[in-house]
Amino acid sequence: MTGKVVAAALNPSLDRTVEVDGFAPYGLNRVLCSRTDPGGKGINAARVLRSFGTDVTVTGFAAGKAGELLRGFLSSENIASELLEIPGETRTNLKVLDRKTGRITEINESGCTVPPECLRQFEENFRSLCSGAEIVILSGSLPPGVPSGYYARLTEVAGCCGARVILDADGEALRQGVGKAPCAVKPNLEELRVLTGLPLETPRGILAAGRKLTAAGISLVAVSMGAQGAVFLDGQHAFRAVPWSIPAGNATGAGDSMVGVLAYALLQGEELAEITRLATAAGTVTASKPGTQLCTMAEVMEKLPLVSVSPLEP
C-alpha cells in the first residue's frame, strides 16, 4: 500500500448507541444494551480506511474528557490522530436503535465553539500534515465558530501541497468548497439538487447535474442514492450501481464508508467502474448493520459480486 490519507474531523463526537425493544416517544424506554464508538463523518471514513490497511491520520478538534476518550478510541484502532485541543467538551451523539422496527433515532449535539486562534493554529497543523499526504478527506458538519467557507480554504491549502481532496459536505460549505475544484465530491441526491438547481428525477437527470460539476473542474462525482444505489462519473464515463437488497432502516455511516473506500480505490488506481462497485458495496454493508457499526474490508470484498454496475449513457 502506498500513499497516505489525512481525514479532517472538525466536529468529531462520541456516538453512544442504545438498543430498545419498541421505542416509545415521550415514554419510558429501557435500554437492552449499549455501545460507544468514535464518531463524526471524517472519523467514520478514517476507521473504514484503516480496516482496508490504509495509512490514515485524523486531524481536527477535541475538547475535555470526551476528547480524551476519543483519542483513546482512535489509538485502540491504530489510527493516528493530530487533534487540536480546544476549550469545552467534545460532543456526544445519542443513537436509539429500535430492535422491533430496525429504525434508529438520532439526537446530535452541535459541538463546542472553536475560537479564532484555534482555527489559525489548526490551519498551520493541517498544512504540515497535507505536505505528506496523497489524499485529504474533508467531511462532516462544521462546529460553531467555523465559517462556512472553511472547507474551501482547506481545499486550497491541501491542493497547494499536492494532495487530492475528497469533499463530503452540505449546504453553503459544499457550495463554496466545490468552487475550489476538489478532486472528488460525494453529494446525496438532495445535496446535489440544491447545489445545481436541476431536477433529479431520473438517472439521466442525475448525470446532467453531475456533469455540471465535472465541467467546473471536479475529477470525480459520486452521488449516493440510498437503497437505489449510486451514480459515479468523471469527465468521460458514468456508471450506475445497484446494490443487493437489505432491510430498510439504518443508514448511519453508509455515506462515510463510501468516502473511505473511494479514497482507498483512488490510492489503488482503480478504474471508475471498480471504484463505483467498491464504494457502493461499502455503503450497503454499513447500512445493513445496527447502530454505528461500519463495514470491514473482508465484508466488502465478500459482497462485491452482488453489486450490479452498468454504464450510464446521456
Instruction: Catalogue the E-assigned strands of 99-236.
Output: 104-107, 135-139, 164-168, 184-185, 220-224, 230-233
Sheet holding 104-107, edge to edge: 33-39, 13-20, 91-98, 104-107
Take residue 230 and report the three cell numbers written for it.
Answer: 449510486
Check if the beta carbon of residue 59 is closer than 8 Å to that of residue 81. Answer: yes
Instruction: Catalogue the E-assigned strands of 54-201.
Output: 55-62, 80-85, 91-98, 104-107, 135-139, 164-168, 184-185
Which has the closest alpha carbon to 254: 274, 272, 228? 228
Check if the beta carbon of residue 270 is closer than 8 Å to that of residue 184. Answer: no
CB atoms within 10 A of CB 227: 12
Q: Is 16 helix (H, G, I), strand (E, B) or coil?
A: strand
Q: Determine how β-strand 33-39 pairs with β-strand 13-20.
A: antiparallel
**Distinct helix (H) and strand (E) counts, the chain:** 10, 14
Which has the closest alpha carbon to 121: 87, 92, 94? 87
Q: Answer yes or no: 256 catalytic.
A: yes
Which has the closest alpha carbon to 18: 292, 252, 259, 261? 292
Which has the closest alpha carbon to 86: 110, 60, 109? 60
Q: Determine how β-strand 135-139 pairs with β-strand 104-107.
A: unpaired
Catalytic sites, residue numbers: 256
